[in-house]
Amino acid sequence: MGKMVIGNLKMNILSVSEREQYISNLKKELGKKEFSKTEIVVCPPFVHLESFGKNIGQKVKLGAQNMFPQREGSFTGEISPAMLKNIGCEYVILGHSERRKYFDETDKEINLKVVEALKIGLKPVVCVGETKAEKEANQILRVLTKQIKEVLAGISRTKAEQITIAYEPVWAVGTDIVPTSNEIMEAKLLIKKILISIFDKKYAGMTKILYGGSVNSKTVLEVCVDPAMDGVLIGRESLIPYEFVKIAEIINN
Ligand code: PEP
C-alpha cells in the first residue's frame, strides 16, 4: 500500500499574495523530486481551492477541510461535496478535533458527511483520537471504538479502500507533544481490529491509517516510520513548504 502525506493548512493563508507565495515555494521544494510511493495532498481553505487546483501541479492532490452533508440547496454559508468534487478535490478531511471542539461536531454528523462524501466520489480522511483526560482514564479503546463505529455506520465494506483514518490524539495536535512509537502502534492495532469488526479482514486491510499530531521532520521517524503507519496528517509544518516536503521525502524513502 502506498503512503500518504496530507497537509491541513487550516484557517491560514490570508491573501492572494500569500497564496501565490505558498504555491510557488511548494512547487520549488517539490522540484524534480519523485514521490513514487507517496501521495501528497494539500487541504487549503475553501476560498483557495480553485487556485491551488489550477496552479499546484501534478505532484500534489487537492483536499478540503470540511463539507456539509447535502448536495445543494438552502444551507447558507455551507459548501457541498459536489462543489468540492467539481472543483477538483479528491479528498476531504472530516471530523477534525478542532471541528469537534469548536463546532460540537458529533460522530453521527460526521457519519452523514462520510456517507455524502463517498456518494459523490470524494475520499474521506476521518480524524479520530482521544483527549488527554480520556488517555489518563485508560479510555483509548472505548473512545476509538465509539468514534470509528459511529462515523462508519452503514458504510459498505466495498468503500473501505476509499476511506482513510487519521489517528490524531487530541493532546498531540498543535502541542509539540507526541506519543511514543509503541503508543501509536498500539492505537493502530486497535483501529485495525475495529475496522475488521466493521468491514471484515480483507476489506479492513484496504483502509489506510495515518498518524497526526505535532509531526515534523524530526519526529516523523518515530511517529510514522517506526510504527509502520500509512502516512501522516500534518498541521503547522505543512505551512512551511521546505519542512512539508522534507517529511514527504522521509516517508517516501
Ligand atoms: C492537525 O491539526 O491535524 C495537526 C496534526 O496539527 P499539528 O501538526 O499542528 O499538530
* pLDDT tens-digit series, residues 107-121: 999 999 999 999 999
Residue 210: what pLDDT? 98
Per the structure block, which three cell numbers stand in for 112? Answer: 452523514
pLDDT of the residue at 1 = 78
pLDDT along the chain (253 residues), means of 10: 95 98 97 93 98 96 98 98 98 98 98 98 98 97 98 97 98 95 97 96 95 96 93 98 97 93
Q: Which domain holds residue 140?
A: 3-30+37-252
Q: How far is the CA of 212 from the centre of ligand 1 (A)?
A: 6
Which of 104, 113, 38 is closest to 75 using CA atoms? 113
Burial 201-217 (b: 16+ CB within 10 A, else e): eebbebbbbbbbbbbbb
* Residue 127 Cα: closest atom of ligand 1: 3
14 backbone dihedrals φ, ψ, rounded to 5°: -90, -10
Q: Which of 252, 243, 250, 251 is nearest to 29 (CA)?
A: 243
Residue 72 alpha carbon to ligand 1 centre in Å: 30
Orientation of helix 16-30 relative to helix 241-252, angle to 10°: 30
Answer yes or no: is the C-beta of 5 below 6 A from any ligand 1 atom. no
Looking up cell 472543483, which residue turns up? 87
CB of 99 sitting under 6 A from ligand 1: no
How many other CB atoms sit within 10 Å of the CB of residue 39?
19
Convert the pLDDT of each residue in 60-104 to its tens digit: 999 999 999 999 999 999 999 999 999 999 999 999 999 999 999
Ligand 1 contact via 215 beta carbon (within 6 Å): yes
Which CATH number belongs to the domain containing residue 105 in this structure? 3.20.20.70
Residues 6+ apart with CB under 8 A from 156: none
Cα 108 → chain centroid = 19
Residues 170-180 have pLDDT tens digits of 999 999 999 99
Q: Are 126 and 151 within 8 A, CB to CB?
A: yes
Alpha-carbon distance 59 to 36, whole Å?
A: 10
Q: Determine which residue's CA is closest to atom 5 belonging to ligand 1.
A: 213
Number of domains in the chain: 1
